[in-house]
């Protein structure tokens, strides 16, 4: 199966760098640390900006957080870069045959069960802040 995109882990990496060195690092430097192309970094930065987590100084370069690192959770970052249809992690097949007893009921039952599972994951992500992460390698 396909894993959740590495955009997420790269975004955490990016924000960690900014948290540690606000306004001192360029996209070029970040790309060097993440070990990828600068455009990939800028794309993710665009999502983080759209989510209101960071801002960037165009022209001159350098980025800074719009919230303190203890108020940015992994869930905030996850939501910023992983845009899902209707915010549903699990895909559910549609158009089940409504003339079948199982086909009729399966969608709504699964919908609620799977959204519970998704919530459990998200609650765990919400428990960890950026400052807790950076504390582990500073």
Helix (H, G, I), strand (E, B) or coil at 53: coil
Helix (H, G, I), strand (E, B) or coil at 65: strand
Between 58 and 95, name the residue whose CB sits nearer to a second copy.
Answer: 95
Secondary structure letter of residue 129 according to DSSP: B
Asked if 60 interacts with a second copy (CB under 8 A), we say no
Q: Binding partner of residue 63 among DNA, a second copy, none, CB under 5 to 8 Å per kind?
A: DNA
On whether the CB atoms of residues 76 and 53 are closer than 8 A, the answer is yes
Q: Binding partner of residue 33 among a second copy, DNA, none, CB under 5 to 8 Å per kind?
A: a second copy
Instruction: Map the footprint of DNA across residues 57-96, applying CB under 7 A.
Output: 57-63, 82, 91, 93
Task: Extract the tokens encoding 1.
Answer: 């199966």
Q: Binding partner of residue 131 among DNA, a second copy, none, CB under 5 to 8 Å per kind?
A: none
């Amino acid at each position: 199966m396909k894993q959740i995109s590495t955009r997420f882990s790269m975004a955490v990496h990016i924000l960690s760098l900014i948290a540690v060195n606000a306004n001192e690092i360029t996209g070029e430097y970040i790309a060097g640390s993440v070990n990828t192309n600068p455009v990939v970094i800028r794309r993710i930065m665009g999502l983080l900006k759209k989510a209101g987590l960071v801002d960037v100084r165009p022209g001159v370069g350098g980025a800074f957080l719009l919230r303190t690192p203890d108020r940015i959770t992994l869930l905030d970052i996850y939501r910023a870069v992983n845009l899902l249809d209707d915010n549903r992690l699990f895909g559910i097949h549609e158009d089940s045959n409504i003339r079948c007893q199982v086909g009729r009921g399966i969608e709504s039952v699964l919908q609620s069960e799977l959204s519970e599972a998704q919530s459990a994951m998200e609650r765990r992500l919400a428990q960890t802040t950026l400052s807790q992460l950076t504390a582990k390698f500073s």
